[in-house]
Amino acid sequence: MIKIKKNILKEKLYNNKLVIGPFLKISDPAVVEISALAGFDFVIIDREHGPISIENTQDMIRAAEVRGINAIVRVPRNEKTEILKTLDIGAHGIEVPQINNAKQARKLCSSAKYGDLGDRGVCCYVRSADYSEIKQDKQKKKQYFTQANEQTLVIAHLEGIEGIENLEDIIKEETIDIIFIGPYDLSQSLGIPGQVHNQEVITKMEEIVEKIRDNNKIAGTFVESKDDIRRWGKIGVQYFAYSVDVGIFYNKCKEITSDFRSVLDMLNRNKT
């Protein structure tokens, strides 16, 4: 049997579990391993913002598999070749920005799936196909295409007023698993930029999540605190993207230096 990595994250989500994982902009695979060891459910390798290359991404996916965590990749744009390369190197799921209408949603779905579900390009000499190992057996080849379609997680980012207005058309696309709503983008579209805790934003978020769930999709969003998770988790959001690796590192460093600075200053004064 072809050895497609089981998408534990997808299984959790379809069992109605809540999950959390950070965006990663640092290209070192060690950051992926640390995220797994720290207890995150997944990581989002961010190729839309930041310096991560496709080669770095492949090594980061390997690190995720070694440590038993799923690697989602946010691609730079909704382009067939970007999605194809990302899935060929073994990504367990893709997040695609700027899905704001039905045409863009169809393009995403078509690029991400094989066969009757889409027109993802076929190459057996890539990592996702075990570097041509599947070619040795017809049964393995058949299993590969079926399991790749089943295991790949497809995430569409709604960004701005256009995406919100076209939500009902976007969620009709069968192979989208998660609709991701950025609260900051939502606040901007409502004319109150940055006010993500404003009741108007919360009410609109409730309406959007209800529509998503009514259409058997999973809702996702970006969070920065436990209060954010409580707020959005109570209304049905399951997929939480938490902060960014560089921000997490900065905040911890700032906490340490602020905490230690008074002691250092006192010791420095005593030396004079």
Mean pLDDT of 6-29: 97
pLDDT of residue 104: 97
* Tens digit of each residue's pLDDT (9 = 90 or more) over 63-107: 999 999 999 999 999 999 999 999 999 999 999 999 999 999 999
Reference 233, options 15, 16, 18, 14; nearest CA is 18
The domain ranges of the chain are 8-271
pLDDT of residue 48: 95
Q: Exposed, middle or buried: residue 128 (CB in 10 Å: 0-12, 13-18, 19+)?
A: buried
What confidence tier does 4 reach under pLDDT thresholds 50, 70, 90? low
**Residue 138 confidence (pLDDT) above 80:** no
Does residue 85 come out as left (phi exceeding 0), alpha (psi in the -120 to 50 range) or beta? Answer: alpha
pLDDT of residue 2: 45
Do residues 2 and 143 touch, judged by C-beta distance below 8 A? yes
- Token duo for residue 234: 């109570």
* Tens digit of each residue's pLDDT (9 = 90 or more) over 210-258: 999 999 999 999 999 999 999 999 999 999 999 999 999 999 999 999 9
pLDDT of residue 216: 95
CATH class belonging to 8-271: alpha beta
